[in-house]
Amino acid sequence: MDILRINLATKECVRQSLCSSEAIIGGRALTSKMLVEEIPAGCDPLGPVNKLIFANGALAAAGVSSAGRLSVGGKSPLTGGAKEANAGGTAADSLAKLGLRALVLEDKAPKGESYIIVLNDEGCFFHSAEEYKGMGNFQLAEALFGKYGKENSLITVGPAGEQGLYAAGIAVTDMYGRPSRMAARGGLGAVMGTKGVKAIVISKKGSYRYPNLKSEEFMSARKKFNAQVANSERVQVLKKYGTASTVMAVQNLGALPTNNFSAGQFEHAEKISGEALYELIQARGGEGRNWEPCMAGCLVQCSNVVPDASGKELVAPLEYETICLLGSNLGIGDLDEIGKLNWLCNDLGVDTIEIGGALGVMAEAGLANFGSYADFESILQEMYRGTLQGRLAGMGAALCGTILGIERVPAVKKQAMSAYDPRGVKGTGITYATTPMGADHTAGLTVFFPVDHHDKTGQVEISRKMQIQRAAYDAMGLCAFLTSATGQTPQVIIDLVNTLYGIDFTVEQWNSLALETIKREIEFNRAAGLGKDTDRIPEYFKREKLPPFDLLWDLEDEELEAVFGC
């Protein structure tokens, strides 16, 4: 496996080979390793010195269920610190079939220029992106598939990335060609857009195959692994209801972000629940799908396709965090309205969590009314036009709060919180505070642990454990939803790696790699000026009681500092 470095100023492309023991370090472990080793912490995230690193995991394109996540790393314009965001879709597998573990975008295109980068077995090619400038992700994907053919994976940015907005994510196409799998968080789309890359077109027809891919040992390990995934109970729930199954659980905890995190229960929660979504899809039929994979061979199939009243695809997928941030957090209790906002965010190429957070803050400042779809849609439309209001929303919740003078900004390290109020899910609050990523549930979600989530007792340990597990999965390009099936039996994954690469990797080494990755990211943050004081939940969460259960955030600084001891 190789690393391909693409210099956007010189258009030089260089391949570097990796040995087997290096090649298994992928995903977040690789992006964060390169981040610390190659990117000066003090650099301008949107300047030429920052890099944008794409890395798949050791099991990409090997027929392993849910092993095709694509990690994207670099210095975050949003947080100013270390960033890795990962997405499903097909690009990770396609890169692996070209023999690539990682792709690195370096330097910056000359001012005003923008490229489509085409990767296939023949090499790496630069095409002008002139005709695609300002195009939304959906129109762009259609145009690129038209030009380059359907047998490609696309990595794209919408108008938000081109404008350098800090909420801009990077879209990856799914099995059906939708550019709606997002490496959403932390503004990496702005890094890609301002480097002058509108899209990367990656052939799905690459000829690289792992030498041991057809070995009996690997195929047997894979069979065992896939069976374990298919038989998991939690996976069945995810398949049927998608992540939306979480709505009522968090509503019952009183931790469902509502009206800019001012309440923990939403009067219309049932109307936007997993059950309601399931029924809606069933009732409308048409192009609707209750479950669907986003990558080849995935047995979890948590995705869905939401049809509109006429049965035509409205948005796909619709996920829990989006339902909450663009729904309850904005006072919107209608799945169609949420779906339309979600589609606009996908097309603009922005993180639905960050935008939901920003819109909530703007509503609190009086620039929109909670519950008014029209108000929020109008702000998203302004984002296409690059107006001041559109740009402000696109810069995320923290900058909205700064400019508008709003104190109630649900963010850590300037990154908006996702759909778990930290006062009601203490362990996830600890993750928000202490992950180097800024508020991010994917860095260590604790809500499915069978404990009292209102009580902080023992939560530091749970958060730490989950953060290390998530970092381990991220290091392998494995979907987080596998953890419910294989989290307790890490050896089944190590067996896959060892039989595929012919090495002797161990569970202990895997865990060490995960912890080392987190510590590297923290080291980068410190060097970038994000001190311990940024590993905190905002003060007002300690003062404002969250109705209806009057919950407060009650973790002391020392408890937070104990999570990683640095």
- Of 4-12, 277-285, 505-513, 532-540, which part binds a copy of itself (CB under 8 A)? 532-540
Please tell me the distance from the alpha carbon of residue 380 to that of residue 363, in angstroms, as a whole number: 13
- Least distance in Å: CB of 98 to a copy of itself? 34
Residue choice 39, 79, 534, 537 for contact with a copy of itself (CB under 8 A): 534
Beta bridge partner(s), residue 103: 4, 54
First-to-last alpha carbon distance for the chain, in angstroms, is: 34
Question: Closer CB to a copy of itself, residue 161 or residue 206?
Answer: 161
Question: Closer CB to a copy of itself, residue 162 or residue 321?
Answer: 162
Q: Does 539 bind a copy of itself (CB under 8 A)?
A: yes
Q: Which two tokens stand for residue 152?
A: 């490609």
Q: Which two tokens stand for residue 348?
A: 């603009």
Nearest-CA neighbor of 68 among 88, 41, 51?
88
Question: Closer CB to a copy of itself, residue 254 or residue 401?
Answer: 401
- Least distance in Å: CB of 260 to a copy of itself? 17
Region of 59 please: left (phi>0), alpha (psi -120 to 50) or beta: alpha
Residue choice 44, 131, 142, 461 for contact with a copy of itself (CB under 8 A): 44
Q: Does 41 bind a copy of itself (CB under 8 A)?
A: yes
Q: Does 178 bind a copy of itself (CB under 8 A)?
A: no
Question: Closer CB to a copy of itself, residue 186 or residue 444?
Answer: 186
Q: Does 42 bind a copy of itself (CB under 8 A)?
A: yes
- Least distance in Å: CB of 86 to a copy of itself? 26
- Least distance in Å: CB of 248 to a copy of itself? 34
Residue choice 532, 549, 559, 562 for contact with a copy of itself (CB under 8 A): 532
Q: Does 212 bind a copy of itself (CB under 8 A)?
A: no
Q: Which DSSP state fits 113?
A: -
Please tell me the distance from the alpha carbon of residue 51 to that of residue 562, in angstroms, as a whole number: 31
Helix (H) or strand (E) holding 353: helix 352-364
Binding-residue pattern over the window 381 to 400 for a copy of itself, x denoting contact by CB under 8 A: -------xx-xx--x---x-
- Least distance in Å: CB of 17 to a copy of itself? 34
Q: Give buried/exposed letters for 136-174 (b at 16+ CB in 10 A, else e).
A: bbbebbeebbeebeeebbbbbbbbbbbbbbbbbbbbbbb
- Of 18-26, 234-242, 402-410, 510-518, which part binds a copy of itself (CB under 8 A)? 402-410
Please tell me the distance from the alpha carbon of residue 345 to that of residue 207, in angstroms, as a whole number: 35
- Of 38-46, 260-268, 464-472, 492-500, which part binds a copy of itself (CB under 8 A)? 38-46
Please tell me the distance from the alpha carbon of residue 128 to that of residue 146, in angstroms, as a whole number: 16
DSSP-derived 3-state class of residue 347: helix
Q: Does 555 bind a copy of itself (CB under 8 A)?
A: no
User: 361 and 408 in contact (C-beta within 8 Å)?
Assistant: yes
Strands (E), 213-256: none
Residue choice 285, 405, 450, 565 for contact with a copy of itself (CB under 8 A): 405
- Least distance in Å: CB of 367 to a copy of itself? 7
Question: Closer CB to a copy of itself, residue 361 or residue 466?
Answer: 361
Please tell me the distance from the alpha carbon of residue 211 to that of residue 209, in angstroms, as a whole number: 6
Question: Closer CB to a copy of itself, residue 371 or residue 386?
Answer: 386
- Least distance in Å: CB of 430 to a copy of itself? 18
User: Please, which of residues 69-88 interact with a copy of itself by CB under 8 A?
Assistant: none
Q: Does 47 bind a copy of itself (CB under 8 A)?
A: yes
Q: Does 285 bind a copy of itself (CB under 8 A)?
A: no
Amino acid making up residue 541 = F
Region of 83 please: left (phi>0), alpha (psi -120 to 50) or beta: beta
Q: Does 530 bind a copy of itself (CB under 8 A)?
A: yes
Q: Does 24 bind a copy of itself (CB under 8 A)?
A: no
CA atoms within 13 A of residue 423's CA, in its CB half-sphere: 28
Question: Closer CB to a copy of itself, residue 101 or residue 108?
Answer: 108
Question: Closer CB to a copy of itself, residue 260 or residue 534?
Answer: 534
Q: Does 529 bind a copy of itself (CB under 8 A)?
A: yes
Give the residue ranges of DSSP H helices in 261-326.
274-284, 320-325
Please tell me the distance from the alpha carbon of residue 116 to that of residue 141, in angstroms, as a whole number: 12
Please tell me the distance from the alpha carbon of residue 32 to that of residue 19, in angstroms, as a whole number: 19
Binding-residue pattern over the window 146 to 175 for a copy of itself, x denoting contact by CB under 8 A: -----------------xxx----------
- Least distance in Å: CB of 50 to a copy of itself? 12
Beta bridge partner(s), residue 155: 172, 200
Tracing tokens 């941030």 back to the chain, one arrives at: 325
Q: Which two tokens stand for residue 106?
A: 């370096």
User: 125 and 132 in contact (C-beta within 8 Å)?
Assistant: no
Binding-residue pattern over the window 346 to 385 for a copy of itself, x denoting contact by CB under 8 A: ---------------------x------------------
Pairing verdict, β 115-120 and 197-203: parallel
- Least distance in Å: CB of 391 to a copy of itself? 6
Q: Does 227 bind a copy of itself (CB under 8 A)?
A: no
DSSP-derived 3-state class of residue 514: helix
DSSP string, 145-181: HHHH-SSEEEEE--HHHHTT-TTB-EEE--TTS-S-E
Please tell me the distance from the alpha carbon of residue 532 to that of residue 558, in angstroms, as a whole number: 10
Q: Does 110 bind a copy of itself (CB under 8 A)?
A: no
- Least distance in Å: CB of 426 to a copy of itself? 22
Question: Closer CB to a copy of itself, residue 143 or residue 527?
Answer: 527
Q: Does 402 bind a copy of itself (CB under 8 A)?
A: yes
What is the Cα 283 distance to its own chain's centre? 30
Question: Closer CB to a copy of itself, residue 32 or residue 534?
Answer: 534
List of residues contacting a copy of itself (CB under 8 A): 40-42, 44, 46-47, 163-165, 367, 388-389, 391-392, 395, 399, 402-405, 407, 527-534, 536, 539
